[in-house]
Structure 1
Amino acid sequence: MNISLPQLVQRKEDNVMATNLGDELVMMDTQSGNYITLNDLGRVIWEKIEQPISVNDLTHYLLSKYNVTEEQCKTETYAFLEKLQTQGLLV
């Protein structure tokens, strides 16, 4: 499934343990045993998707926070969300 602007996204926390490690957020999927390390941007997105949010609102928030082009923001946000989705970390 491809991510789209009007789509609502929310993180799935049922099987995820997370801890801060320096500037990164390290998460473990307790079901699969996979570890995921998020940089600052990944952590910001993870925090914003605690509650349902549209991809459009998420990208607008990120554009207000970071000095990037809209195209770059959308491309990187879509890629990150699709990675989370592939790993079963989105509701």
Structure 2
Amino acid sequence: MSKVEQLSLKQTVKQMEGNIVSDMNGEKVMLSVKNGKYYNLGSLGGEIWDQIKEPVVIEDLISLLLEKYEVEPEQCEEQTMTFLRQLIDEGLVEAK
């Protein structure tokens, strides 16, 4: 079961400290020093990661992605929320 039961568009998300991130052929890869795991965020995940370096409201993050990419709003919201939940579950992102 997910540690994040509810994640709202009005919440703010931001990166947790203690991760080493690098670009590899257009994709972001990350090592979590805290849990000793490697993650491949991909190119779009890397874009989201870059955008949450500073606290950002999820709704604003989705709006930014919709401006940059050709994607249906519902699909963008669903996939962004799923990705953020995974990052939160792994202890890589905090939501307030």
Shift of 1:33: 1.0
Greater strand share, structure number = 2
Unaligned runs of 5+ in 1: none
Tell me which amino acid in the other structure corresponds to 2:9: L
TM-score of the superposed pair, with normalisation by structure 2: 0.89
Mapped to 2, the partners of 1:53 and 1:31 lie a distance apart of 23
Matched residue pairs, number? 90
Unaligned runs of 5+ in 2: none
Mapped to 2, the partners of 1:60 and 1:31 lie a distance apart of 31
Shift of 1:68: 0.4
> Which 4+ residue blocks in structure 1 deviate beyond 2 angstroms?
none
Q: Give the CA RMSD over aligned residues.
A: 0.9
**1:1-91 matched pairs, under 5 angstroms:** 1=4, 2-13=6-17, 15-91=18-94
Shift of 1:12: 0.7
